[in-house]
């Protein structure tokens, strides 16, 4: 996706985007941020969108930066959070060779590295690394490939419970355009409302974190209600719930090439 593509999405953000902030029912990100507050001065929200996490960061850190490559998102964030005196917001593309971001003690990167282009993702990872001080922390949230596949299974189960023949139940659950599973096996790219979106295996994030010079402090699931996957999910559809991966990473002095 390009910055332009987020234009319409910014205008109807609530309807279009799964808000991690609103659906993090156990407030796991807030707990992580509170723990990191101790002796930390600066924080940056990379790909801040409309800025849902900015008030939280502003409360816990002395100086906060927020950046996004969509001018519309930054405009909306400015309008909603103009009262936050310790906040600076800028338009910047995390794929650029030298985006204007000061390295911070803590960086948030919440569902931002979603591009289907591996070369774009590599550029973003490099800048994410540069945005954190050595010894500082990165709070990373990324869509789970395991959860996406599991959700498709729950849709198949739903079809079967409704009395569909199993082959129809299967084709109703899984994308028929990707019958051979090429897109998924090539790189975890799954169509989300018409947008090809990178999803990650837990082990893939472990390897990425290691390659970009981060130590893993914790890796857990943020679970969401089924209404984030399906409209009007049936009452019997309960746990295990769908999830994103939440990694807390500490920047090491060197990268592992
Ligand atoms: C799913 S939204 C998440 C927004 C916010 N982090 C949150 O959790 O509410 C993804 C955001 O990443 C931004 N984004 C994607 N690629 C980017 C890039 N290359 N540089 C800067 N921002 C980017 C988009 O504009 C969008 O606002």
What's this model's pTM, rounded to 2 decimal places? 0.92
| Coil vs helix vs strand at 79 | helix
Measuring from each residue's beta carbon to the nearest atom of ligand 1, which residues come in under 6 Å? 6, 17, 19-21, 47-49, 52, 68-70, 73, 93-95, 110-112, 124
Find the 118 Cα to ligand 1 centroid distance in Å: 16
191: helix, coil or strand?
strand
List the residue whose alpha carbon is closest to atom 14 of ligand 1: 47
Question: 111 — phi, psi (to 5°)?
Answer: 50, 55
* Residue 8 CB contacts under 8 Å (≥ 6 apart), including other chains: 16
Strand partners, 196: 191
Ligand 1 atom closest to the CA of 19, numbered from 1: 9
Sign of CA dihedral 12, 189, 32, 93: negative
Locate the ligand 1 atom nearest the alpha carbon of residue 45 and give its number: 6
Question: Domains plus CATH for the chain?
Answer: 3-144+195-251 (3.40.50.150)
- Name the strand (E) or helix (H) holding 133: strand 132-143
**Closest approach atom of ligand 1 to CA 6:** 25
Q: How far is the CA of 116 from the centre of ligand 1 (A)?
A: 14
What tens-digit pLDDT sequence spans the chain (257 residues)? Answer: 666 666 566 666 666 678 999 999 899 999 999 888 766 799 999 999 999 999 999 999 999 999 999 999 999 999 999 999 999 999 999 999 999 999 999 999 999 999 999 999 999 999 999 999 999 999 999 999 999 999 989 998 998 898 876 666 666 555 556 666 666 666 899 888 888 999 999 999 999 999 999 999 999 999 999 999 998 999 999 999 999 999 999 999 988 77
Query: Which amino acid residue places its CA nearest to atom 19 of ligand 1?
Result: 94
Q: Whose CA is nearest to atom 16 of ligand 1?
A: 112
Element counts in the chain: helices (H) and strands (E): 11, 9
| Coil, strand or helix at 241 | coil
The rounded distance, in Å, linking the Cα atoms of 81 and 89 is 10
For the stretch 77-114, what's the b/e string if a residue is b when 16 or more beta carbons lie within 10 angstroms of its beta carbon?
Answer: beeebeebeebebebbbbbeeebebeebbbbbbbbbbb
User: Can you give the pLDDT at residue 202?
Assistant: 98
């Amino acid at each position: 996706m390009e910055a332009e593509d987020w234009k319409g999405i910014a205008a109807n953000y609530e309807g279009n985007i799964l808000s991690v902030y609103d659906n993090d029912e156990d407030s796991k990100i807030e707990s992580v941020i509170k723990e990191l507050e101790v002796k930390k001065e600066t924080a940056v929200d990379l790909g801040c969108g409309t800025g849902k996490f900015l008030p939280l960061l502003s409360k816990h850190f002395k100086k906060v930066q927020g950046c996004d490559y969509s001018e519309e998102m930054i405009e909306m964030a400015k309008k909603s959070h103009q009262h936050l005196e310790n906040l600076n917001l800028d338009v910047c593309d995390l794929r650029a060779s030298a985006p204007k971001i000061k390295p911070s003690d803590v960086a948030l990167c919440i569902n931002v590295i979603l591009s289907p282009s591996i070369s774009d993702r590599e550029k973003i990872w490099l800048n994410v690394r540069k945005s954190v001080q050595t010894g500082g922390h990165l709070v990373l949230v990324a869509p789970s490939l395991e959860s996406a596949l599991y959700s498709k299974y729950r849709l198949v189960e739903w079809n079967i419970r409704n009395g569909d023949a199993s082959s129809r139940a299967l084709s109703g659950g899984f994308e028929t355009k990707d019958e051979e599973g090429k897109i998924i096996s090539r790189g975890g790219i799954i169509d989300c409302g018409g947008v090809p979106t990178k999803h990650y295996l837990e082990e893939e994030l472990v390897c990425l974190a290691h390659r970009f010079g981060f130590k893993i402090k914790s890796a857990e699931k943020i679970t969401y209600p089924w209404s984030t996957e399906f409209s009007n999910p049936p009452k019997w559809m309960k746990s295990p719930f769908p999830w994103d991966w939440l990694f807390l990473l500490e920047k090491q002095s060197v990268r592992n090439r």
